[in-house]
Each structure stands twice: as structure tokens, then as C-alpha cells.
Chain A
């Protein structure tokens, strides 16, 4: 299987469902609780703690960081739990979602409209993914513990294009 190297600047509209990609760049962690806060803030017209425009969000909540390490084990969580929130975030600029498992039709429709892409990481490959994370910075909602928003820099993160910006899916 051919692997395409991608980063935050690449044209995601060229990616096709089924492409294996190797991602090097920046992504933000956010899962259930952070999504709820993002959407509540947007509904109130408040500014978000991250700039969503063109951003990548990774659905993950790592284990605690051990002394001397960058981050704990950090695999993807089930994306469908974010389905109720994802369209609102895409309308606000989110372009790349990374997680595991299927998405609902509302998410796919919003992806087509907003030219966004959904990538999957291997569920349960948390130690391997941890080894590809080169930097981690706390960003917001630290009271949420593992559900806090963190800025991750990754190198050669193995992902698969599950749903492309045209709505084609391999799931």
C-alpha cells in the first residue's frame, strides 16, 4: 500500500478515501467534554481557545504523562460520539478530523459542504502513536484531565483516509 506524506499545508481535497497517509504536523486533542464546551462557546458567540480555521482535531484522551516523557499513551477514541458536535465545528473552520470508526450522515454532509476530511488512526495503537508525538502543549480546559485540549506535534503518524472531502467512504 502506497503511503502519502501529508502536513497541515497540504491540499486535503486531493486526498481520496482509502489512501494511506503519514501525517507530520500539528493537531489538537479534543473528545466528548471539550467538544461540548466548544459548541456551547460558539453558540454563545464566544471565542474558542484554539483557532479552528484550517485546523486538525484528534479525538483522544491520553494516559497521564510520566516524568521525563512528552505525553502518555495516546490512541484514538470512537469518533461517532463527536458526531453531534462535528458539523458546528466544521462550519467554524475545522478541516481535519482524526479518530476511529464510522461517522453519521450529518457529518458526511457537513464534510462535503466544508471540504473537510476524516482520517482514522488504529484503535488501540496508543503506545505506537505516543512514540510519534514530538511535542505536547496544554492549551485549554485543563480541569477536564485527560479530556483537556492539547496541541500535539507529530512526525510520521500513520493514518488512513476513511472519508474524503467528496464524501467517499471506506467504512
Chain B
């Protein structure tokens, strides 16, 4: 088994996928290392990649004129980083900055879109998983909107 295959198999995000689908994904993935402080992508750039964090912390930030950027969320080991590549116009809506040294699996967005469109079963499996991630992030965001720790006052 290739190293990439082993990494993909270990990720909770891909658990339950058929072996042939894992192989397709493994063939598309490569591991990258990002140094602490580096921007992995920036708001407004074309979303050319899909990432899954293997280790380290990444901050999703909203740059603000004349002020420090605000961190809207951090993602960590095993988390998916970014889904702007899924839908047109395929542009990032936040900055992603490595808070620590980061290793991640990277997929080429165009290839991943092609695989998803040509193999509907794999496409369905992937979309289900991304849907779950989106729902849980939306719920987490709603919880923060209602000021979970302050009794709403």
C-alpha cells in the first residue's frame, strides 16, 4: 500500500469508502508540508485545491482593512480545509493561514471535480461527506451566533 493510500484510509472523512474509490483518490492526492505562518490560500484566489489537514492547525481568517484579520474558525488534524472548489465561481472566501507547521493531503480541484462527475457513486459519497462537514460547521456557527456561553445577554 502506498503511503498516500494509508493516509487516506486513516482519515475519518473517507471512512466507509470502497477500496476502488480510495485508490482513485489516493492516485490524485499528494502530501504537502506548510511552514508556520504561510498562507495556504487567500480570499478571492481561484480555488484550485482541496485539502485535508493531517497535522497542525490552520486559521480561516477574514482580512479587514486597517485592522488585524479576524479568525472565524480554526481547523485541525483530520479536518477538511475549504470547499469553495466544489461550486462555481471556485474562489476562496477566506484566507487560510498555517498557525503551526502543517502537513496536508492536497487534491487537484479540477481532477477531483472530474472524478466526481464521471463516477456518480464516488461523487455521491464525497458530496454526502462534504454535506455533513458543511452542516456541522453551519451548526457550530449558529451556536456562536447565539453567544453560547453568555446566556444571550
Partners in one complex: no
